[in-house]
Structure 1
Amino acid sequence: MAETVHIAQMAEKLSDELFSEFFWEKVGPTNQNWPCEDKEHHSTETHPSDVVFFYDEPYSQVRTYVNCDLKSYAKDSIKPSAVRGAVESLAKQVACAEKSDDWRNLYVHDHVSPEICGLLFVYNHDGEYDKSFASQLTSIKTDKLDLPKDTKLVVLGPEDVFWLDNVRYEIRQMRGSSGADRLPDREHCQYFYPQLVRKANVQEEKAKAATLEMLTAPWIILQYKKPKSGDRRGVVVFYRRDGSTTQEFMYLIDYLRHYQVLGEDTDVQIKTLDTAPAAHATFQKAVQQYIEEMGDGNGDNDLATVVKAIKYSKMTQVISTFSSIELGMDYE
């Protein structure tokens, strides 16, 4: 029993370290049970909240509250039945949290418009899971879940957790670097949300966190100001796709140009993790092709200058592991 508790603590510890780097904040008690609002339908007296995080949305005056179910599974425990049961239970939690005064009193701030969603966080604590996690989700009938309309429920499987953990690690490494790629302190950093035609970034100064949508997107963009360099702007694009085609890199470059990320006053880096062997060479070809197609043909113009200045590098892969013995000796 004690070992099971310590294994569960691994997911809690990792989620804490991981989401704090994406500017999520914790609120209220952890590992808290609260009364079910639909006991007959849900066949339970209470629901659990392992932890609740919150962040402000960039495109609306809303604060998102993420009710988390944290799972720490060994390779052989990651099965469709276990994942389906966890998703169905989390859906019921979110459905009740939407109408629970008890849950709101525990977790929701009085001065905001809240939006509640669910997150199933599946951490493979032995690091041996090597299958596609998507296959574990095929038996889940999303239209049968007891989930309020337009409410999000997101599942982060081992591959997603591995990716986000590596982004977290890279950010910390860059913040401690003494080189040109050094990141400034957190107060000078925020995640990038462009001003869209139909969606203005209405909380640009306040909404600095990476949303669930960004964390599950093909790339995560962190922007920062360099306080000792005349507030020169820096942008780091953490790129999740495999980089096997010039077209995908050209699309990324075009996105950066369209939303005015590229500029003479901005340093841009693209960082990848698990890519095709020739991804770096493919990126170089994409840069050359983009300049030829979008420029005046001679490659000697402002667009060519800023596109050529984009730096590309690969992150070092890490796997976060925890000792159940060490967690059991944490008396503080």
Structure 2
Amino acid sequence: MAETVNISSMAEIISKEITTHFGWSIYGPRNENFSCVEQSHNRKTHPADVVFAYAEPYEDKITHILCDLKSYSKNSIKPLELKKAIENLNESLTCARKSIDWNKNYVHTSDPINIKGMLFIFNNDNQYDSDFFELFKKATEKIVIDKGNVISVIGPKKICYLANICSNIERLRGKKDLPDEEFCGFFYPEQPIRNIYHDPARLPLTIEQIGGSFHIYRYSEPKETNTIGGLDVYMEDKENEFENFQHLFDYLRKYNCLQSVNKVRIFIPFSKETTRNNFQKALKIYEQTVDENFAKKLNPLINYEHINRVVPHFFSKEIGLRNE
């Protein structure tokens, strides 16, 4: 039983380490149950491993994320287990949206709120190498989610990717290549029909944005917080690497990033031997599609920087000794 508790704690530890850098805060008690308010659920309570909250970039709302944190070995990451976990979280989310008990413990704001769910699946033996998306599709073929519920599932590889973003942020900040966190946040473009409601220099990485293929971390100079000093772009390991670079360049230009910043660094935690060559090729071809003066600016402005991959790993006995 004690070992099981320590293994379960691994997901809690890594989730806290990751979300600290993403602008999320913990609201209310951790590892507590709240009252079930749906008779059809046939239970008295639902679990709340942890509830995170952040301000929505494009809404005047605070989003609350009800999390189910799972720490599974390779052999436990199966469609049936995933299906059960999603169904249980769906029920918990339905009750959280109606429960006075949940609202009293976890809503610490007078602002309008959203409540969403996140199933966080950490692979505690670092052995899972299957296609998680295929497993997810199989697990959710016949699943029914209650109306109004929004659930995101974060799998093992995505967790490792997010941990690498956080590790690199800490590395850069330690080298003084990144300002203190009060001058940093994630980039969201101004859009014609969507206004940014909060300080653009301190925006969080939303649960929806986590599902994207690249993530842009912006930073400002301490004396010029209204001006973007630079952008750090993190890209996932995807197929069609060359085309993804071209898509990124188009995105940066569309939202005037290349015209308004001093530096763009691109980091790919799961890079390949071909990554740098594909970057250079994509940039060279992209330069040929823009006017000559703008093309001259691109090469010194955008750089690909290799980073060493980090693999989160914990030991059950070591975790058990932490509180002694």
TM-score by length of 2: 0.94
Q: Over aligned residue pairs, what C-alpha RMSD do you find?
A: 2.0
- Secondary structure at the aligned position of 2:126 is classed as coil
The equivalent of 1:31 in structure 2 is 31
AA in 1 matched with 2:24:
W
Matched, 1:183 2:181: no
- Secondary structure at the aligned position of 1:316 is classed as coil
The equivalent of 1:169 in structure 2 is 167
Cα pair 2:63 2:113 within 8 Å, conserved: yes
Matched, 1:237 2:233: yes
Listed one character per residue, the Cα deviations across residues 127-159 of structure 1 (whole Å, up to 9, x for unaligned) are 01111112322344477434232x310000101
Aligned 1:177-326 pairs, distance under 5 A: 177-178=175-176, 182-205=177-200, 208-227=203-222, 233-242=229-238, 244-263=240-259, 265-295=261-291, 299=292, 301-326=293-318
Relative distance call for 1:147 and 1:159 in structure 2 (3 A) is: same
AA in 1 matched with 2:273:
P
The equivalent of 2:106 in structure 1 is 107
Relative distance call for 1:113 and 1:307 in structure 2 (3 A) is: farther
AA in 2 matched with 1:170:
N
Listed one character per residue, the Cα deviations across residues 85-135 of structure 1 (whole Å, up to 9, x for unaligned) are 100000001011111111010101241111000000000011011111123
Aligned 1:51-90 pairs, distance under 5 A: 51-90=50-89
Deviation at 1:175, TM superposition (A): 0.8
- Secondary structure at the aligned position of 1:127 is classed as coil
Relative distance call for 1:263 and 1:322 in structure 2 (3 A) is: same
Matched, 1:330 2:322: yes
Deviation at 1:229, TM superposition (A): 8.7
The equivalent of 1:152 in structure 2 is 150
Cα pair 2:83 2:140 within 8 Å, conserved: no
Q: Where does structure 1 lack aligned partners over 5 or more consecutive residues?
A: none
Cα distance in 1, alignment partners of residues 52 and 228 from structure 2: 32
Relative distance call for 1:122 and 1:241 in structure 2 (3 A) is: same
- How high is the sequence identity, in percent, across the aligned residues? 34
Cα pair 1:280 1:312 within 8 Å, conserved: yes
Cα pair 1:245 1:282 within 8 Å, conserved: yes
Cα distance in 2, alignment partners of residues 232 and 194 from structure 1: 12
Cα pair 1:95 1:147 within 8 Å, conserved: yes
User: What is the total number of aligned residue pairs between the two structures?
Assistant: 323
- Secondary structure at the aligned position of 2:257 is classed as coil
Cα pair 1:264 1:306 within 8 Å, conserved: no
AA in 1 matched with 2:8:
A
Greater shift in the superposed pair: 254-263 or 89-98: 254-263
Cα distance in 2, alignment partners of residues 141 and 320 from structure 1: 28
Cα distance in 1, alignment partners of residues 143 and 286 from structure 2: 46
Cα pair 2:263 2:302 within 8 Å, conserved: yes
AA in 2 matched with 1:6:
N
